[in-house]
Chains A and B, each alone.
Chain A
Amino acid sequence: MGLGRYVATRVLLVLPTLFGVTLITFALTYLLPGNPALVKAGPLATPEHIREMERQMGLDRPVPVQYWRYLSGVLRGDFGESATTGRPVLQDFLQRVPATLELTLASMLIAIAVGIPLGVVAAVRRDGPVDHASRLLGVGGVAMPTFWTGLLAVYLFFYHLGVAPPPLGRLSPGVMAPTALTGLYAVDALLTGNARALGSALHQLMLPSLTLGFSVMAPVTRMVRATMLEILESDYIKAAWAAGLPRRTIVYGDALRNCLIPVITLVGVVFGFLMAGNVVVEIVFAWPGIGNYAVTSLLTKDAAPIQGFVLFVAVVYVLINLTVDLVYGVVDPRIRLR
């Protein structure tokens, strides 16, 4: 199979999945407590007013018709309106996604930059000091929930040591957001040479991204270690030793190259997990991202943003899986050419 056909099949296979996801998010309207018309009409509305509202929102129509309207709306980029902010959900989202993305990317960078080398060294020097340290770190990362490590980090680094800023959003008070290019403050500040904004953005990013990065570093390290150990025992690594290749080449060339293939999947999974899983951290650090938005909406029983959030997370997962598949096809000859 050529690379072109491989890509085409993968992309086509994604469509039914996405269709299924819209069914689920649509069903959420019925599962969520509270009547959306009631929320929209306000607490003082009369029964007639509510019925009128239901008619306006199409809630009196048959379910398939409602679904069709929902689906065609989604396809047009219309995710409904937030009853709380009174703005289209899409608009609210686009405003908040960069914050979440910035936090996610920073956390992932930390998890990967520390987790992969740690896993490799732990495997190569098995039962050595690094291996033991990584195991300890792993237990910590898994056993402590992020709200706890987050609060602990705030207490230690902000309150006690004073090296971190107060956990209040993406920039210190008084610092202007840099000119928007990507929406990621740190990147925008760097691109526009705005040193003040860059410093502030990174400083604010420090604790939440460490908290989140720490929580996913453990699985990354553990998987890299396990994969690497398995590969180091494989026949082709034995053959490489027997062929007199230097240790460096064997460990960091032959073995690591093979190890990175499963790690790509892991990175994809971690990314999806972080995108959705940083809700708690966004709350702890008052981070104005989509997780924060979703929780606020949940508390006010605002259905449209929640639907939008679930759909968004699902689509991110699907797209990540697609990307992982595509990257696989490029790096692993066995998959592309089968």
Chain B
Amino acid sequence: MRPLLEVENLSVAFDTDEGTVGAVDAIDLDVRRGEILGLVGESGSGKSVTALAVFRLIRPPGRIAGGSIRFDGRDLLALPEEEMRRIRGAQIAMVFQSPRTALNPVLPVGRQIARLYRLHQGCSAAEARRRTLEMLGLVGIPEPERRARDYAHQLSGGMCQRVMIAMALATSPRLLLADEPTTGLDVSIAAQILDLLRDLGRRTGASIVLITHDLGVVAGLCDRVAVMHAGQLVECADVRSLFREPAHPYTRALVRSIPRVDREVTMEPVPGVVPSLLDAPPGCRYADRCPDVLDVCRTVKPARSARARDHEVACYATEAARVAAPRG
């Protein structure tokens, strides 16, 4: 079946006074129906920008510089704004990184959810209220009637994130983008939130893109993983192959950086620094950090090639090694 979301050759640029920041550089990314896709990469690699581009919410000085985004076969970049608006929230929803600041401080949280039922599903006020309370219960908020009247500042971080999730899932979207949904939450609450996301995803059949720094979370939760580095998508594979046979030098460094024995799985920095995206030269942006770098790497960006079923890499060295020693 055709993937739910097909991102092709997408570029996002920010025109700043110093020059053009190529935040996303011609990435290809599919999200299949019902799957959980992990999107990982260091800070500044363009994960959030990619998510916002899917919503067509890149605001000046940023712009979508090229490529296409298809959702269920429809070209999102070609839609009139009003139609795009109807898709946002209703079919594609987002869970933000900092739940407390992503809720409007002067509206009771219940009202923020209820108005989405009215907007996207044309519910009456009473029906919207009923469904809001039901949804709040579903995401594990005790005493929904009381909590619905609360404001964001009265709720704990975990509760705020549950409210955010209730808001995102209110109108049964088919694609949910969760941008580091557990930042700032303590470990046990974070685990609950992730379980909740997975369960709700399963129940509604929605696809989920989970943006995270945490490869441990990816290993436990995702079906597939896409790895971004400095605005480029370097590797995309099912979870098992990615962890067993990371192919791209950057992914290998990432996987190596996971502490082995203890349960703590925060990502340690990969050697070298993230290159500047300002008027970045052509070619592979990992070149300055890469132990396997070749001359061609700095001049022409490597194309992605299939390494195995469900495993694509964009790297000259990897490709050369595969061609030289085919494993059958």
A and B associate in one complex: yes
User: Which chain A residues have a beta carbon within 8 Å of chain B's beta carbons?
Assistant: 234-236, 238-246, 254, 257-258, 261, 331-334, 337-338
* Contact (A238, B120) CB under 8 Å given A244-B85, A254-B104, A258-B104: no
Q: Can you report 15 residue pairs joining A to B where beta carbons are below 8 Å apart? A: A234-B101, A235-B98, A235-B101, A236-B105, A239-B94, A239-B164, A241-B57, A242-B93, A243-B89, A244-B119, A245-B89, A254-B104, A258-B104, A333-B105, A337-B153
A244-B86, A245-B89 as given contacts; A239 in contact with B57, CB under 8 Å: no
Nearest A-chain residue to B115, judged by Cβ? A245
Q: Is B103 an interface residue (CB 8 A)?
A: yes
User: In the bound complex, do residue A241 and residue B88 qualify as a contact, i.e. CB atoms below 8 Å apart?
Assistant: yes
Is there an interface contact between B57 and A236, defined as CB atoms closer than 8 Å? no
Contact A236 B151 (CB under 8 A): no
Establish whether residues B90 and A244, one from each chain, have CB atoms under 8 Å apart when the complex forms. yes
With A244-B85, A244-B87, A258-B104: A239-B154 Cβ-Cβ less than 8 Å: no
Rounded to whole angstroms, the CA-CA distance of A241 and B96 in the bound complex is 12
B154 is contacted by which of A257, A258, A261, A337 (Cβ under 8 Å)?
A337
A335 to B, closest residue via Cβ: B153
For the complex, what is the distance from the CA of A334 to the CA of B100, rounded to whole Å? 13
Contact call A333/B106, Cβ cutoff below 8 A: yes
Contact A239 B85 (CB under 8 A): no
- Residues of chain B contacted by A240 (CB below 8 angstroms): 104
Say yes or no: is B102 at the interface (Cβ < 8 Å to chain A).
Answer: yes
Structural contact, B119 and A242, CB atoms closer than 8 A = no
- State whether A244 and B88 are in contact (beta carbons under 8 Å apart), knowing that A235-B98, A239-B94, A239-B96 are contacts in the complex: yes
Known: A257-B106, A333-B106. A242 touches B88 (CB 8 A): yes
A-B interface pairs (CB < 8 A), number: 70
Chain A nearest Cβ from B137, distance in angstroms:
20
- Contact string, B153-183, partner A, CB cutoff 8 A, digits 1/0? 1100000000010010000000000000000
Closest partner residue, chain B, to A338 (CB atom): B153
Chain B residues near A243: list those with CB within 8 A.
Answer: 88-89, 93, 116, 167
Query: Which residues of chain A are within 8 angstroms of B120 by Cβ–Cβ distance?
Result: 244
Residues in chain A near residue B98, CB distance under 8 A: 235
Q: Which residues of B contact A242 (CB under 8 A)?
A: 55, 57, 88-89, 93-94, 96
Whole-angstrom CA separation of A334 from B164 in the bound complex: 19
A244-B87, A261-B106, A332-B106 known; A235 vs B57 contact (CB < 8 Å) = no
User: Which residues from chain A contact B104 at a C-beta distance below 8 Å?
Assistant: 236, 240, 254, 258
Query: Whose C-beta in chain B lies nearest to the C-beta of A241?
Result: B57
In the complex, what distance in Å separates the CA atom of A257 from the CA atom of B153?
Answer: 17
Least CB separation from B100: chain A residue: A235
17 additional A-B residue pairs with CB within 8 Å, beyond A242-B96, A261-B106: A236-B102, A239-B164, A240-B104, A242-B55, A242-B57, A242-B88, A242-B94, A244-B85, A244-B86, A244-B88, A245-B89, A246-B119, A257-B107, A331-B106, A332-B106, A333-B106, A334-B105
User: Contact at B87–A235, with CB atoms within 8 Å?
Assistant: no
Q: How far is the CB of A248 from chain B (nearest CB, A)?
A: 11
Residues of A contacting B164 in the complex (Cβ-Cβ under 8 angstroms): 239
With a CB–CB cut-off of 8 A, which chain A residues contact B115? Answer: 245
Which residues of chain B are within 8 angstroms of A238 by Cβ–Cβ distance? 57, 96, 102
Tell me whether B101 and A244 are in contact (CB under 8 A): no
Point out the residue from B101, B119, B151 that lies within 8 Å of A334, measured CB to CB.
B151
| CB nearest to A334 among chain B residues | B153
Q: Is the CB of A241 within 8 A of B105?
A: no
